[in-house]
Structure 1
């Protein structure tokens, strides 16, 4: 306890003040202490410094009031005001008009002890002073002349603060300047305070520089709605103030910690939790990325992208704040990011790549909160791989996040497209998984015959046939393996070879319920892009099905050929064989089949539909869906030669025009065929078609069947009932995942 002087200093003034004050103290035998080096001084001027420690470069102690009064005036005269600057020390009083000399009596927080009775006390001039005694207030000495001197030099009447802009409360305290909640024209506002000579970087640029830098940047992007509007900026007393729009929102870091189920009890996580959080987080990240994209268009980098500088309102709209360290792309001045920024974790990061790296860190922190571990390539890959697996992201997402974190690079348009596609696919994945689970639980198994029971087991992945007795069992086994393992063919080639010489009669005798499984098997060969064992595949197609496919076809008989499941099956094999061995003879056969389809395609109510006899056929085996399915396998020359007509048919195939929900001739078949054709780029269509199928559901004694618009009730039948719909949805989910490499 006693009188003391604090000498404040910025970086540039520190050498001069150090030499001047230490020399004076030594000559006058005064006790003092000084900060050890410039690095400690720099930290004392930063945001992380405690407010009561800000700017206290040198402290001088006095034994008496008389010594203090004599020396403070001498020091005031000694210091050249043109060479000395420093931040205002808010725990002390300024001496006259000096920018660096401050004084006070006593400690801010005196050392409190307890006596034998438990009473608190502190020492003053070697005497114990009880906190609740009369002597407590007597120890705090005052000097009337000093107080008058202080008021003379430091009297100021505010012009805007608490007059134009009313201060309601302090939202955040900081040594470099507080953030206040205010009111203006009956509206809430934010008032940000910037104190000179604080938040100094190694170039001696202080809060004022960064405040004006923020204004310059925000004026450039003032039309960006995701940034709080700038209302006013001005000097008040010795500090600079920025007034901006108040956003009723929370920091994204707080929202993430509250909502992310992986930050809570891992064992209690349900699929719905991860789905909802994944969708929420991905939507937020897309908004953040779009803000970054808009800033890049204006050649601006934020410099401090982090969860702390992103706000989220109740409508999940994102706002970006704190542009103090933002900069223009071609700006020559070197910018230093503030302490704690993500980019400080990575050494040697180019200034124009910092935001991209920070975006990668934001994505990681939204799911695992491990951005501080992204220090090298191997740990980054491990953390990002865990996120991809835990939340079932596509490989495309994994690739762009790895590029952000490891290479700090990104093709903006491509990233934007991938993020939007991921969100779209989430909707269809969730819808498909829910419907699949619903149908599996609501099929009345007791009414299924032996064949349909096998089909149900194959579709749901529960079939385990030890001994195959016929072609039907083979198809079931293959399809089952496909349902649960997309790489099954590599381990099942030998299994297929045993049945290479299956009789044609058995295959022809298989009804349409089995044909769709056979087509599923063939599609596996194509979509998994198997290049190995092509000789076996060729022989399997050619030798086993030569009597079906390569028959003598003459032009005179074309009009008599019926478009049915056998017709499409033959065309499928021709297309597959041509891909393996493009012979001219095979190509001619394909042309014949395509000509037959085009001859039987008619325009009906602005739609191009396949018509055979008196019937318009939407079916997977005998109509539009079957054509769409085959279109995937046509040689490119066939497509080029018939492009206009094909485009018309395919365009019509996307129009929901069936009164049936079935796989054989209705919506389920359409959905499957168009998914295979359009890969994963047909989300809206699939959602609409599944909703249409839902409208045809009918519940009877707690089990699900389908009701057509003509009120005819279907059962669990594979071609026309629930089993077919279930199979279609499961195959769609598998095809999309394969295409996205999930």
Structure 2
């Protein structure tokens, strides 16, 4: 299970997921279909375990996984519960709607993402029978869910998947101190039972269904040849690709359907709608030197992709940590602030220019941090990326209840958290945190105590950082652009 699961019960410290408070919707639905005796329902971490007293769960075998979006989850859970009760087959489901949202969220590890219900057939024959029964009962209905990457889809179902794995989990302690789940082969040999972002079978097991021929997916969108993966989340990957038409290198962002689905107010957003929104925002900002140029929005299979210009530079958080640019009050590399002062000056100037230019187009950036500021390592000019949370004033207000929650901890004003409303002033506050975090990484701490910045700025002044730096950060935080510009007029750099 990913580290994010241990933040479900508390946002301040790690806790067992079993302590996460959830609504009783799913438990109530399950219990409404159970007989008076013969079944046990209990909480097990993020799961609601539903066990038949008759069923004998095998050590390992083919499991059935069911995915779902929140809209149809209760109806689908009721259907599955009735089918399992009729056959005395044990299963588990996400313990509540909040945990289904976690399973379908961006931060869920890709090997576990999308799993709403797991069913443990007692035999191979029971597996085949139940899978086909569920297929027939869900066919033609509006049941949809995220594709489960670790599994293989059953026929053309949008919610039914299967994989071979452990049912009564057996673990082995490895040399690195970590425990791993294992499977045992016919010869007694052991292999790791890995939940990966692709379907795989142990060597002695064959897929009981005919495999579809897999197409070469290196060229997508008609003209983009994928050459490398930059990053990947449950929501989708970010890739580097060659544009075969122009010969240029581009970045391609992927959105898997039904992932990261959120409804707030009248707006429902998911990975697809967010990528479409980002493409529209980038087109609105096209022509600015501080943003990236959108190239194409296209669909490949069931996934949505956006090709955009590849920015020449590195992420600000990486640039600030390079040996030649690393200045921290506690660093023992012999550097002084004066060694990076010209770069920091240009960073402040360029960042203010970028925010003002974007605001002049009527766009609130909404989510600004060192994670989405790209910097030229020589000139320290900035380019901003990742505009999925941006708001075009007069056009996107209906999305604000959902997008206002799309934040980076430590870069958000208390007023925004309280009101759920995003303003231009929020961008200036976030820009000030970008500047401060370039000097001292305060992000995680300031998420717990937003008022700690004054202490850090005071400390920087005490150890000799010029006053213009404090003036720039504080004026930017207040949204006082003229005073921030005045601060930049003082230094002799």
* Alpha-carbon offset, residue 250 of structure 1: 1.2
Distance between the aligned counterparts of 1:268 and 1:138, measured in 2?
A: 53
d(CA) in 2 for partners of 1:158, 1:370: 42
Higher relative contact order (CA 8 A, sep 6+): 2
Query: How many aligned residue pairs are there?
Result: 405
Contact residue 106 and residue 140 of structure 1 kept, 8 A:
no
Aligned to 2:125: 66
Contact kept, 8 Å, 2:409 with 2:443, in 1: the verdict is: no
The answer on whether the counterparts of 1:181 and 1:189 sit within 8 Å (CA) in structure 2 is yes
Pairing of 1:451-530 with structure 2 (within 5 A) = none
Does 2:488 correspond to 1:416? no
Report the counterpart of residue 229 of structure 1 in structure 2: 293
For the 8 Å contact 2:257–2:272, the answer to whether it is kept is yes
Deviations 1:204-235 (A, max 9, x none): 41111111111111111101012121111101
Does the 8 Å contact 1:252/1:312 carry over to 2?
yes
| 1:206-225 equivalences in 2 (<5 Å) | 206-225=270-289
Q: Is the contact made by 2:113 and 2:234 (CA closer than 8 Å) also made in structure 1? A: yes
2:206 matched residue in structure 1: 141
TM superposition score normalised by structure 1 = 0.50
> Is contact 2:364-2:391 (8 Å) kept?
yes
1:302 is matched with which residue? 365
CA distance in 1, matches of 2:309, 2:118: 41
**Pair 1:404–1:137, CA change in 2 (3 A):** closer
For structure 2, which runs of at least 5 residues remain unmatched after alignment?
1-59, 175-179, 193-200
- Does 2:411 match 1:351? no
Distance 1:377 1:303, change over 3 A: closer
**Post-superposition offset of 1:391:** 4.7
RMSD (Å) for aligned C-alpha atoms:
3.1
User: 2 CA distance for matches of 1:332 and 1:171?
Assistant: 32
SS at match of 1:147: coil
Q: Does the aligned pair in 1 maintain the 2:65–2:160 contact within 8 Å?
A: yes
Q: Is the 8 A contact 1:304 1:337 kept in 2?
A: no
- Number of the residue aligned with 1:340: 408
Structure 2 residue aligned with 1:188: 249
Deviation at 1:114, TM superposition (A): 8.4
Whether the aligned pair in 2 keeps the contact of 1:122 and 1:129 (CA below 8 Å) is no
Matching residue within 321, 340, 343 for 1:277? 340
Measure, in 2, the Cα distance between the counterparts of 1:399 and 1:113: 57
- The answer as to whether partners of 1:233 and 1:241 remain within 8 angstroms in 2 is yes
Kept in 2, the 8 Å contact 1:303–1:337? The answer is no
SS, match of residue 304 in structure 1:
coil
1:313-349 superposed Cα distances (whole Å, 9 cap, x missing partner): 2432211100111112343222234363434573326
Q: Is the 8 A contact 1:232 1:244 kept in 2?
A: yes
Q: Is the 8 A contact 1:262 1:269 kept in 2?
A: no
Aligned residue number for residue 367 of structure 1: 439
- TM superposition shift of 1:102: 0.8
Residue matched to 1:388:
461
Q: Secondary structure in 2 aligned to 1:104?
A: strand
Partner of 1:610: none
Query: 2:410–2:450: 8 Å Cα contact kept in structure 1?
Result: no
More strand by share: 2
Query: C-alpha deviations, 1:643-670, integer Å up to 9, x for none?
Result: xxxxxxxxxxxxxxxxxxxxxxxxxxxx
Structure 1 counterpart SS, 2:189:
strand
What secondary structure, in the 3-state scheme, does the structure 1 residue paired with 2:71 have? coil
How many angstroms apart in 1 are the aligned matches of 2:452 and 2:381? 32
Distance 1:229 1:294, change over 3 A: same
Query: Residues of 2 paired with 1:306 and 1:38: CA distance?
Result: 30
Cα distance in 2 for residues equivalent to 1:121 and 1:302: 43
Q: Is the 8 A contact 1:403 1:410 kept in 2?
A: yes
Unaligned runs of 5+ in 1: 428-742
CA spacing shift, 1:336–1:378, aligned 2, 3 Å: closer
Change (3 A) 1:199 1:415: same
In the alignment, does 2:482 pair up with 1:426? no
Whole-angstrom CA distance in 2 between matches of 1:123 and 1:260: 49
Residue 472 of structure 2 contacts residue 483 of structure 2 at CA under 8 Å; is this kept in 1?
no
Q: CA 1:402–1:388 in 2, change beyond 3 Å: closer, same or farther?
A: same
Tell me, yes or no, if structure 1 residue 176 matches structure 2 residue 235: yes
- The answer to whether 1:198 aligns with 2:259 is yes
Distance 1:269 1:137, change over 3 A: closer
Contact 1:337 1:344 in 2 (8 A): no
Distance in 2 (CA, whole Å) between partners of 1:121 and 1:59 is 17
What is the distance in 1 between the residues matched to 2:330 and 2:132? 64
TM-score after normalising by structure 2: 0.74
Aligned to 2:473: 401
Whether contact under 8 Å (2:170, 2:182) holds in the other structure is: yes
Provide the rounded CA distance (Å) in 2 between the counterparts of 1:397 and 1:131. Answer: 57
Q: CA deviation at 1:178?
A: 0.6
What's the CA shift string for 1:115-140, capped at 9, x where partnerless? Answer: 9xxxx9955499833459xxx96641
| Cα gap change, 1:266 to 1:314, in 2 (>3 Å) | closer
Report the counterpart of residue 386 of structure 2 in structure 1: 322
Contact 1:86–1:99 (8 Å) recurs in 2: yes
Q: Is the aligned partner of 1:241 residue 2:324?
A: no
Contact preservation (8 Å) 1:168, 1:182:
yes
Q: Tell me the secondary structure at the aligned position of residue 116 of structure 2.
A: strand
More helix by share: 1
1:462-505 per-position Cα deviation (integer Å, ceiling 9, x unaligned): xxxxxxxxxxxxxxxxxxxxxxxxxxxxxxxxxxxxxxxxxxxx
